[in-house]
Structure 1
Amino acid sequence: MLSVRPKVAELVYALYGRPLHPELFEVHASGTFARGDYRVKIDITNTGHVITWQCEGLTWTEVSTAVNHPLPIRRRLMFHQLKAKHHDEFVGRGGVSYSIDFQLETVQPEIFWMFQHELSREGPGQGLFFQFKPSGRMPLGAISFIAHQARNKSLRIQAFHTFPDDCALVRSTTVFRLP
């Protein structure tokens, strides 16, 4: 298991058609909720996040992690290395759909620190939030912030992960839709 935040160049997004074992991840913050016919568990991990969405016997698990993190291959539906911008969609049985938009942005240090301070000030209480310890050479540790908008037939999740050593921001928007 990884014990430190990975370099942003090592990040991947994957979607699985099954739950993943919780012992695969070091979880720092977690939240669960249910709405309509679905249930969701969101975990902030040291490498990013794990979102497990369940509805009527269907389970999809989105993972944002490092490429060298030991993950199974069985029932993996998507796998993308995080580079610049990307969009992908998947439609499962019964018309249930999943879409992901993610973006990696390396910015000037001044902009990064402004965003980092804004997240640390506004994030707590607005969603799932965790601030990592500083790496030693940076004054603030990395931040992960995840917010959601739940409706009976859809769920929209926005995630922000910062990487101070790289002055990089990772933003993702995930949408689960029922027909």
Structure 2
Amino acid sequence: MKFSTTRPQTADLAVCLFARPLHPELFDVLERYEYVGERYQASVSLTSYGHVFEYRVNGQILTEVLDWNQSQLPRIKRLCLYSTDRPRSLRFKLDGGLCIQVCFNCEYLSADVYRRIQQEHWKQAESATLAHTVVGTEFELTPPLSFLNVDPLAESLGIHTFHLYPDERAIVKTQSLFTFDENDD
């Protein structure tokens, strides 16, 4: 588990989807996971502000980003940009059969409920595919935590992320499913 010292507020986050790769220099990558399967390749990263997922198959690429909504990300081949201010469920399908389904939500909890769930998430982060915490003296409670689990299957890739914000008693959750059907043009 790596550590960093800054992070935006939940109201300042957005989910973006792209039909292209993004330059790694655009992000402060803290943890990275690579998967190479028979049918597809994927890279999954926790960044200082959120995460970046890239799914590649047959020359096509889908990229999901959770980042600060003021980031200067490219607009070329951007499929969407949505704030995390309310729950959303999205589905995008590219010509050639590449598809992504994304659900995301930001929950604000009471102090007691947040503490209980936070303890559970810290335990889950110990066995997560990737985990990262933000350290610093300004946090009254335990430091913010991000972790994710990757489920690579033969025909699809599932990713579940959790970004905890103790100062706001908030949890930003995303669930992403990348699939490819070469028979579906």
TM-score (norm 2): 0.90
2:13 to 11, 14, 17: 11
**How big is the shift at 1:45?**
0.8
Percent of aligned positions with the same letter in both sequences? 27
Partner Cα distance (1:39, 1:111) in 2: 38
3-state SS of the aligned residue for 1:98?
strand
Residue in structure 2 matching 1:144, options 143, 146, 154 = 146
Work out the CA distance in 2 between the residues paired with 1:135 and 1:51.
Answer: 30
* In structure 2, C-alpha distance between the alignment counterparts of 1:5 and 1:135, rounded to whole Å: 14
Structure 2 counterpart of 1:175, one-letter code: L
Question: Given that residues 141 and 166 in structure 2 are in contact (C-alpha distance below 8 angstroms), is that contact kept between their aligned partners in structure 1?
Answer: no
- The answer to whether the 8 Å contact 1:28/1:46 transfers is yes
Task: List 4+ stretches of structure 1 deviating above 6 A.
Answer: none
**Which segments of 5 or more consecutive residues in structure 1 lack a partner in the other structure?**
none
* Whole-angstrom CA distance in 2 between matches of 1:126 and 1:35: 20
Aligned CA RMSD, in angstroms, stands at 1.4
1: CA distance, partners of 2:30 / 2:146: 10
Contact 1:36–1:153 (CA<8 Å) still a contact in 2?
no
Count residues with an aligned counterpart.
177
Aligned to 1:93, the other structure's residue is in SS state coil
User: Aligned ranges for residues 148-167 of structure 1 at < 5 Å?
Assistant: 148-167=150-169
Partners of 2:44 and 2:136 lie apart in 1 by: 24
Matches of 1:137 and 1:122, distance apart in 2: 21
Aligned residue for 1:121, secondary structure, equals: helix
SS at match of 1:78: strand
CA deviation map 1:86-116 (0-9, x unaligned) = 0111011222211100011000122222222
How far off is 1:125 after superposition?
2.5
> What letter matches 1:117 in structure 2?
Q
Letter in 2 for 1:32: E
Offset at 1:14? 0.3
Note the C-alpha offset of 1:150.
1.4
Q: TM-score, normalised by structure 1?
A: 0.93
Contact 1:14 1:76 in 2 (8 A): yes
2:30 corresponds to: 28
> d(CA) in 2 for partners of 1:36 and 1:87?
29
- Please tell me whether the aligned partners of residues 36 and 151 of structure 1 are also in contact (alpha carbons under 8 angstroms): no
After TM superposition, give the deviation of residue 69 of structure 1 in Å: 1.4
**Paired residues of 1:105 and 1:170 also in contact (CA < 8 A):** yes
1:167 Cα deviation (Å)?
0.7
User: Which runs of 5 or more structure 2 residues have no equivalent in the other structure?
Assistant: none
Match of 2:125 in 1: 123
